[in-house]
Copies of this chain bind each other. A is one copy, B any other.
Amino acid sequence: MAVTIKDVARLANVSPSTVSRVISNSSRISDATKNVVYAAMEELNYKPNAIARNLANASTKTLGLIIPNKEENLFKNPFFIQAMRGISIYSQKKNYKIMFNYSSNPEDELSFVREFVHSKWVDGIILLTANEDDLCIDYLNEQAFPFVVIGRPFNLHDIMWVDNDNFQATYHLVNKLIQKGCQDIAFIGGPSRRIFSKDRLEGYKRAIDLRNLTLDEALIVETNDFTDENGYQAMKEICKHKIPDAVVTTDDLLAFGVLKYIREHDYKIKVTGFNNTPLSEYQMPALTSVDIKAEDLGYNAAKLLIRHLEGRDSPVNHFIVGTELIERQSTK
Partner-B contacts on A (CB < 8 A): 2, 47-52, 54-55, 60, 62, 67, 69, 74-76, 78, 80-82, 85, 88-89, 92, 97-102, 118-121, 256, 278-279, 282-284
Q: Give the distance in Å from the alpha carbon of A99 to the alpha carbon of B99 in the complex.
A: 4
Q: Is the interface of A mostly helix, strand, loop or mixed?
A: mixed
Copy number in the complex reads 2
- Complex interface: chain B residues within 8 A of A283 (CB): 282
- Complex interface: chain B residues within 8 A of A256 (CB): 282
CB A280 to nearest CB in B, in angstroms, measures 10
CB A261 to nearest CB in B, in angstroms, measures 15
CB A170 to nearest CB in B, in angstroms, measures 24
Of the residues B48, B75, B99, B101, contact of A119 by C-beta under 8 Å? B48
- Complex interface: chain B residues within 8 A of A82 (CB): 75
A62-B99, A99-B99 given as contacts; is B88 within 8 A of A118 (CB)?
no
> Which 10 interchain pairs have the tightest Cβ spacing?
A47-B118, A50-B119, A75-B78, A76-B278, A88-B102, A51-B54, A51-B55, A81-B81, A49-B120, A99-B99
Q: List 26 A-B contacts (CB under 8 A).
A: A49-B55, A50-B119, A50-B121, A51-B54, A51-B119, A52-B55, A62-B99, A67-B88, A74-B81, A74-B85, A75-B82, A75-B278, A76-B278, A80-B81, A81-B81, A89-B102, A92-B101, A92-B102, A97-B121, A98-B100, A99-B99, A100-B100, A279-B279, A279-B282, A282-B282, A282-B283
